[in-house]
Amino acid sequence: MGNSVEVKNVSKRYKLYKKQSERILDLLVPYKEYGEDFFALQNVSFDVERGSIVGLVGINGSGKSTLANIIAGVIPATSGQVTSDGNVALIAVNAGLDGKLSGRENIELKLLMLGFSKKEIAAMENEIIEFAELEKFIDQPVKTYSSGMKSRLGFSISVRVNPDILIVDEALSVGDKAFSEKSLDKMMEFKEKGKTMFFVSHSISQMKKFCDQILWLEFGVVKEYGATKEVITKYESFLEEYKALSKTDKKKYRNRALNRQSKKNEEPAEIL
Amino acid sequence: MKSAMIVLKEQVKFFYLVKRLSVYELRSLTRGNYLGAAWEIINPAIQILIYWFVFGFGIRQREAIGDIPYFQWMFAGILVWFFINNSIMKSSKSIYSKIRMLSKMNFPMSVIPNYTIFAQFYPHLVLLAVGMVFLQFLGYPVSIYYLQLPIYIIGLLLFLFSFSLITSTLSTIIRDVQMLLQSVMRMLLYLSPILWPPTLLPDSWQPYMKLNPFYYVIEGYRYSLLGEGWYFLENPIYTLYFIGIVAITFLVGAYLHVKFRSQFIDFL
């Protein structure tokens, strides 16, 4: 089987400005850099085979969501390339919904933006409402929804759109158990159909159950990439170790990582 | 030039999106008020009354402008101003307030300011129709001069869209632009021929007042609605100037938009 997603040397640079004035100077003054660089991702490369499910793990701030957003094409990479062989859908907790419009109108609006025709939208609408289990709330404005309801709606829309590649960014952690199981079933169905999926979560048990490969990010660089069993065991033992560190050691560890993230193109050196 | 072509092509290809998204935009704007869309009429009506009270009744003592009574003169000009003001303010913040909803980079982003303008355009047409009915009873019935109205409407839409490409890009990068724009618009209300005729100023000032492209549109509307003559034919050089301004604004706007649009999301 060929590769479904190829990520090549992807870096994402953010600028940190101390003052607002630096921000404007950086825009206006050519050939001069203001502000401090911060690399959320550095030279991330990996390939994903068609039909496999990749879990993204890493502690907070390791760049999981940034990577998910770049693969989905929501934010541009500063350098490097992402190629994917189909349309990608990203499901995130706060997926763009208009709070003033009703759930139904949001469904229509989202589908419209994704390029579906009026007929197709009408056909998909009921299925989405049913899957989202929103029943009588569907005509209420979305701003009155609970976070679980919002993410159910977002998930249902993205799933019904039938993407070739699906990225789930911690969206399932807010739903109740029944719904997250239903969603996992749906994702299993996708897996059987041979769709590629990415899965961002802090739940190691979900990862074990579900993923074929694990990509372990550590402060913007790939620490490990491989079969779930191997990587997840290493990650678990790392977590133990990290938890056991004293406060000052944790701080030292983070500072070293932050230092590295402000410079470009450095080898993913061993930090611990 | 190249970016202008890109933006133009997107407008043509995705015009159906503009039409349909603007309907949702309008719904989102009017939702939540008991009177909903009725405010699109009530609000201007109140403003017209207060301007008439201050400038027509209070300051000018109901003095006519030329041979046109003040109320009718002001009414014909201010109808389009509500549309101009609302669409400039809404479209300038359109990109940074909508970009999260899109969650996809390949969405034709130049459509966003366009559909927010269109969402303001429907209420404008309703207001215009109501205004026309009023004018029937105020001594200015339908005339052949109504035929030139589409020229100014289309001209205005083109200008507003071109201008919104600039403002929506700049205000995404620097949020202060929005505040600046608010002040500029308030200033323009008094510098355009809406509440008082700039012809009261010395002759040497006239050309400078006319640099403001809204001057052209407002006078055009007024000539059409009050049947004063064929404005675009009577002022050929001014017409050319307006076309030139639209073209330059569009080129600059398209250039800025295309240059920065891939980075919009990073500026949030």
Chain B: give the shortest CA distance to residue A271, in Å.
29
Q: Please report, for chain B, how many H helices and E strands are present, in that order.
A: 12, 0
Query: Looking at the complex, does the CB of residue B107 fall below 8 Å from at least one CB of chain A?
Result: yes
User: What b/e sequence results for B4-39 when a residue is b if at least 16 CB atoms lie within 10 Å of its CB, and e otherwise?
Assistant: beebeebbeebeebbebbbbbbbbbbbbeeeeebee
Contacts of residue B107 in chain A, CB cutoff 8 Å? 113
From the list A76, A90, A112, the residue facing B103 with the nearest CB is A90
Q: What pLDDT score does A171 carry?
A: 62
Q: What is the C-alpha separation between B150 and B156, in angstroms, rounded?
A: 10
Q: Are strands A3-16 and A36-49 parallel, antiparallel or unpaired?
A: antiparallel
Helices (H), B138-175: 149-173
Our measurement of the distance from residue A220's CA atom to the centroid of its chain's CA atoms, rounded to an integer in Å, reads 14
Our measurement of the distance from residue B249's CA atom to the centroid of its chain's CA atoms, rounded to an integer in Å, reads 14
Strands in A53-57's sheet, in edge-to-edge order, are A88-92, A165-169, A196-200, A53-57, A213-218, A221-227
Q: Of the spans A126-135, A162-171, A202-211, B45-54, which averages the highest pLDDT? A: B45-54
- Does residue B175 register a pLDDT over 60? yes
From the list B17, B28, B174, the residue facing A112 with the nearest CB is B17
Chain A: give the shortest CA distance to residue B261, in Å.
10
> Residue A255 in 3-state DSSP?
helix
Query: Looking at the complex, does the CB of residue B37 fall below 8 Å from at least one CB of chain A?
Result: no
Candidates A191, A255, A215; CA nearest to A67 is A215
Contact B24 A141 (CB under 8 A): no
Nearest CA in chain B to A13: B266
Q: What pLDDT score does A271 carry?
A: 45
Q: How many CA atoms lie within 13 A of B7 on its CB side?
A: 25
Candidates B127, B124, B155, B152; CA nearest to B220 is B152
Q: Kindly report, residue by residue over B4-45, the tens digit of the pLDDT.
A: 999 899 889 888 888 888 988 888 888 767 777 788 888 999
pLDDT classification of B246: cutoffs 50, 70, 90: very high
Q: What pLDDT score does A149 carry?
A: 84
Q: Residues of chain B with pLDDT > 90: what percent?
A: 54
Query: Looking at the complex, does the CB of residue B16 fall below 8 Å from at least one CB of chain A?
Result: no
From the list A76, A98, A105, the residue facing B101 with the nearest CB is A98
- Does residue A1 register a pLDDT over 60? no
- Does residue A153 register a pLDDT over 50? yes
Q: Kindly report, residue by residue over A53-107, the tens digit of the pLDDT.
A: 888 888 887 888 888 888 888 888 888 888 888 888 887 666 678 888 888 888 8
Q: What is the C-alpha separation between B171 and B188, in angstroms, rounded?
A: 19
The mean pLDDT of chain A is 82
Contact A191, A26 (CB under 8 A): no
Contact A26, A33 (CB under 8 A): yes
Query: Looking at the complex, does the CB of residue B102 fall below 8 Å from at least one CB of chain A?
Result: yes
Q: Residues of chain A with pLDDT > 70: what percent?
A: 93
Nearest CA in chain A to B26: A101
**What's the average model confidence in pLDDT over B224-241?**
92
Contacts of residue B27 in chain A, CB cutoff 8 Å? 101, 105
- Does residue A270 register a pLDDT over 50? no
Query: Looking at the complex, does the CB of residue B28 fall below 8 Å from at least one CB of chain A?
Result: yes
- Best residue in A28, A109, A167, A168 for a mutation probing chain B (most B CBs within 10 Å): A109
Nearest CA in chain A to B27: A101
pLDDT classification of A272: cutoffs 50, 70, 90: very low
Q: In what helix (H) or strand (E) does residue B68 lie, and over which residues does it extend?
A: none
**ipTM score of complex:** 0.75
Candidates A201, A207, A146; CA nearest to A170 is A201
Chain B: give the shortest CA distance to residue A96, in Å.
4
From the list B20, B32, B103, the residue facing A74 with the nearest CB is B103
> How many Cβ pairs closer than 8 A exist between chain A and B?
59
Nearest CA in chain B to A105: B24
Q: Kindly report, residue by residue over A164-189, the tens digit of the pLDDT.
A: 888 887 766 666 777 778 877 888 88
Q: What pLDDT score does A185 carry?
A: 83
pLDDT classification of A232: cutoffs 50, 70, 90: confident
Contacts of residue B101 in chain A, CB cutoff 8 Å? 96-98, 109, 113
**What's the average model confidence in pLDDT over A138-167?**
84
Q: In what helix (H) or strand (E) does residue A83 lie, and over which residues does it extend?
A: strand A79-84
Q: What is the C-alpha separation between A93 and A105, in angstroms, rounded?
A: 19
Q: What pLDDT score does B113 carry?
A: 93
Torsion (CA) A49, A52, A53, A59 in degrees, nearest 10: -30
Contact A76 B104 (CB under 8 A): no
* Rg for chain A, CA atoms, rounded: 20
Residue with tokens 């890109």: B6
User: What global pTM score does this model have?
Assistant: 0.84
